[in-house]
Amino acid sequence: MISFARGAPAPECLDAELLADCARAAVLGDPGVLAYGPGGGYEPLRAWLGARHGVDAARVVVTNGGLQGFVFYTEELLAERPGRVLVEAPTYDRPLKILARLGADVVPVAMDAEGLDPDALESALRGGATSFLYTIPTFQNPSGRTLSTERRRRVVELAREHGVPVLEDDPYGLVRYEGEPPPSLHELEGGELVTYASSFSKTVAPGVRVGWFAAPADLAARIEARAVSNYISPPFLTQATVHELIGRGAFEPNLERIRGLLKVRRDAMLTALQQELAGEATWSEPQGGYFLWVDLPVDAADLLTRAEAAGVTFVKGADFFADGSGSRAARLAFSYASPSEIGEGVSTLASLLRA
Ligand SMILES: Cc1ncc(COP(=O)(O)O)c(C=O)c1O
């Protein structure tokens, strides 16, 4: 099966030798990583992340991947500020499931090619009490879209005007193949309302399960307390491994290597789509990340059934909408399959579309 469904890095992205070496150095260098410790994470890594975001280390909570932090953040916010949770339409499917499980009232906010539509956000904010806005402004999962700088400024203005907290989820920002990065919402706002979340899943390895939140001080303390009551302390061994990798200057070269491997895949998918589907479908052209979004002339669920029978899989658009829309759209991940599989898979999808 050629998978355009897996939002995972190609196996070559994961440097087992480097990680094994860093893990060994980490545990021998600081045997404390084998003990219980602070629920908010490995202190040297917190300090490094704090310096990177210009916040005190106590405001950084290192969680078991970004998604675990999403659960803690949402539980805290829903308890503190009951109200609707505003999400992009479409948005990452796992948070949608978590929000449904937690009984949140989810309000989808429209996007276009430039990302979240600030006018739609403004009218949603006027529509009732809001707990928080969840947004993925850069190389969004699932659409691959990036919010323009001008819109970032408007989103920050609106958050301030309405006093609404924002969760900025940014696991893909550093996985950029070209172009200049826009400022984060967190930088623009100063970190009073905006909590910044990211993870080493895409820049080191998903298996290390190291994500982080840079949050307002009081919220960070409450998220940390939640972490303690859930798992006492996080796995310091993997956090210290990531810290060792950074400390020995391997983070940037490893990231550059990953960017190279994934850019070839992004290019292969754009080329194949242009050759096979120009004039029949439209798609986003992300400058980074893992995904692109295709608007189809046919029903995606039906196409998926036929595609899987022919050995290609993807995720249908409807899975990323709270209200079941998106029936004629698909998320294609270019991160996992090889460049030749990407060409073959797109060609299979194109022939099924025409059949
Ligand atoms: C937008 C977004 N947020 C969070 C995550 C979760 O990442 P992790 O829990 O591996 O840090 C993902 C993973 O695909 C994602 O796409």
Which residue has better confidence, 355 or 126? 126
Which pLDDT does position 325 carry in this prediction? Answer: 94
* Residue 206 alpha carbon, nearest atom of ligand 1: 10
Average pLDDT of the residues in 262-276: 98
Indicate whether this model's pTM tops 0.85.
yes
**CA dist., res. 197 & res. 281, Å (int):** 33
Ligand 1 contacts (CB < 6 A) are: 7, 65-67, 92, 136, 141, 169, 171, 199, 201, 206, 211
Distance of CA 78 to the CA centre of its chain: 21
**pLDDT value for 2:** 98
Mean pLDDT of 306-314: 98
Report the separation in Å between the CA atom of 62 and the middle of ligand 1, taken as the mean of its atom positions: 14
Name the percent of the chain lying above pLDDT 90: 99
Ligand 1 center to 291 CA (angstroms): 13
Residue 171 alpha carbon to ligand 1 centre in Å:
6
CA of 99 to the centre of ligand 1 (A): 15
Ligand 1 atom having least distance to the Cα of 92: 1
Which residues share a beta bridge with 312?
Answer: 2
Predicted local distance difference test score (pLDDT) of residue 81: 97
Going from the Cα of 136 to the center of ligand 1, the distance in angstroms, rounded, reads: 10
Statement: residue 201 has pLDDT above 90? yes
**Eight-state DSSP code of residue 253:** H
CA of 19 to the centre of ligand 1 (A): 20
Atom of ligand 1 nearest to the CA of 69: 9
Coil/strand/helix, residue 63 = strand
Give the residue from 348, 293, 315, 326 showing the smallest Cα distance to 6.
315
Give the rounded percent of residues in the chain with a pLDDT score beyond 70.
100
Reply yes or no: is the peptide bond before residue 181 cis, omega within 30 of 0: no
Residue 289 and residue 202: Cα distance in Å, rounded? 9
- Determine phi and psi for 250, rounding to 5 degrees: -95, -10
Pocket test for ligand 1, best of 67, 68, 138, 167 (most atoms within 8 A of CB): 67
Cα distance between residue 58 and residue 68, in whole Å: 18
The band of 283, judged by pLDDT with boundaries at 50, 70 and 90, is very high
Residue 329 has pLDDT above 90, yes or no: yes
324 — pLDDT class (breaks 50, 70, 90): confident
Q: Which residue has the tokens 């545990």?
A: 27
Q: What is the pLDDT of residues 50-98, one digit of tens each?
A: 999 999 999 999 999 999 999 999 999 999 999 999 999 999 999 999 9
